[in-house]
Amino acid sequence: MQRDSSCFPAADGPDAATAVRLSDVELSLGSGAARVHILKGVSLNIGAGEAVGLVGPSGSGKSSLLMVLAGLERADSGEVEVAGQRLTGLSEDALARFRGRHVGIVFQAFHLIPTMTALENVAVPLELAGRSDAFERASAELKAVGLGHRLDHYPAQLSGGEQQRVAVARALAPEPAILVADEPTGNLDEAIGQQIMDLLFASRAARGTTLVIVTHDLGLARRCDRMVRLRSGHIEAEAAMTATAPDAIPETVTA
Ligand SMILES: Nc1ncnc2c1ncn2[C@@H]1O[C@H](COP(=O)(O)OP(=O)(O)OP(=O)(O)O)[C@@H](O)[C@H]1O
Ligand SMILES: [Mg+2]
């Protein structure tokens, strides 16, 4: 597609706002015989405000790639730059501060704190980040995901889909520059899944949030600007989802 350069600066140009730069990233996890070489030379640039759908077979490294982007796993080698910050070489404390300031994470397993209510799960990280309006903000975000009537429930008292929605509210509440989400609609029925997608894309529309979303849901993937397909720890294919062909996801990324 020919782009009008006055509206769309080249995504890889020196002046373009780039949210993520991965260069030749290698990642191995586990020890001894259980050590697995997971990411094998992954290079990927994502523009600020871009929505990228990450697809690929089970075990191809999608969740691991999100962990590297979010600063939760350290690459063995290669360069990782997120929100203008080079993550390679940051201390654990600096990485934690970086995550708190810039990254929202929706995990594949929700990672809610079982001894905290839905409201506390969303509000406490905001409080720790120094927000004086933590509980008001958390309450508003939970209402936005349709859980205004479940604020005082503990995770064990919520359905899987409700827990997923708390996890999405928690990730969006600090208004992060980058949101990484691992199967955010995986446990949800279609209507609620649609509502969650709308929230993720509304956050992008309102605040320019960069979205990196692992999904098997082609409906969600179609709403992204680009799809990237991983296989066996490397990028096998990628394709722009152009406005002119919203229903035609190239076979190279769906096959
Ligand atoms: N901590 C770990 N130690 C050793 N191997 C790991 C570890 N975490 C993940 N792996 C292995 O790395 C590979 C990639 O895992 P990953 O979770 O990134 O896959 P995925 O693409 O997200 O799969 P799925 O679609 O099933 O969630 C898998 O083979 C997995 O078994
Ligand atoms: Mg996964």
**pLDDT score at 134:** 96
Q: Which atom of ligand 1 is nearest to the CA of 230?
A: 21
39 Cα: distance to centroid of ligand 1 (angstroms) = 10
Q: Is 29 in the pocket of ligand 1 (CB under 6 A)?
A: yes
- Does residue 58 belong to any structural domain of this protein? yes
The CATH code of the domain that includes 128 is: 3.40.50.300
Burial environment of residue 134 by CB neighbours within 10 A (0 to 12, 13 to 18, 19 or more): buried
Give backbone dihedrals phi and psi of 9, rounded to 5 degrees, phi first: -60, 150
- Does residue 234 belong to any structural domain of this protein? yes
**Residue among 102, 112, 194, 178 nearest 146 (CA):** 194
**pLDDT score at 222:** 82
The secondary structure of residue 67, as a DSSP letter, is H
Q: CB of 204 within 8 A of CB of 198?
A: no
- Does residue 199 belong to any structural domain of this protein? yes
Q: Is 61 in the pocket of ligand 1 (CB under 6 A)?
A: yes
- Does residue 213 belong to any structural domain of this protein? yes
Residue nearest to atom 29 of ligand 1 (CA): 59
Which amino acid, 87? Answer: L
Q: What is the DSSP string of 169-215?
A: HHHHTT--SEEEEESTTTTS-HHHHHHHHHHHHHHHHHH--EEEEE-
Q: Is 71 in the pocket of ligand 1 (CB under 6 A)?
A: no
| CB atoms closer than 10 angstroms to residue 113 | 13
Q: Which atom of ligand 1 is nearest to the CA of 60?
A: 21
User: How far is Cα 219 from Cα 222, in angstroms, rounded to an integer?
Assistant: 5
- Does residue 238 belong to any structural domain of this protein? yes
- Rounded to a whole number, what is the distance in angstroms from the first to the last CA of the chain? 22
| CB atoms closer than 10 angstroms to residue 24 | 13
- Alpha-carbon distances, residue 251 vs 2, 126, 216, 222, 238 (angstroms): 21, 42, 15, 13, 10
Q: Which atom of ligand 1 is nearest to the CA of 56?
A: 21
- At 81, is the secondary structure helix, strand, or coil? strand
Angle at 153 between CA 106 and CA 196, to 5 degrees: 35
- Does residue 205 belong to any structural domain of this protein? yes
- Does residue 26 belong to any structural domain of this protein? no
Report residue 54 as tokens. Answer: 């990450």
Q: Which residues face 238 on adjacent strands?
A: 228
Full residue range of the structural domain in which residue 139 is found: 49-71+90-254
Task: Give average pLDDT by consecutive 10-residue segment, the chain, 255 residues.
Answer: 36 64 96 92 96 94 95 95 92 90 88 96 92 96 93 94 91 94 84 84 92 86 91 94 56 56
Number of domains comprising the chain:
1
Q: Is 163 in the pocket of ligand 1 (CB under 6 A)?
A: no
| CB atoms closer than 10 angstroms to residue 2 | 4
**pLDDT score at 189:** 82
247 Cα: distance to centroid of ligand 2 (angstroms) = 25
204 Cα: distance to centroid of ligand 2 (angstroms) = 23
- Does residue 207 belong to any structural domain of this protein? yes
- At 150, is the secondary structure helix, strand, or coil? helix
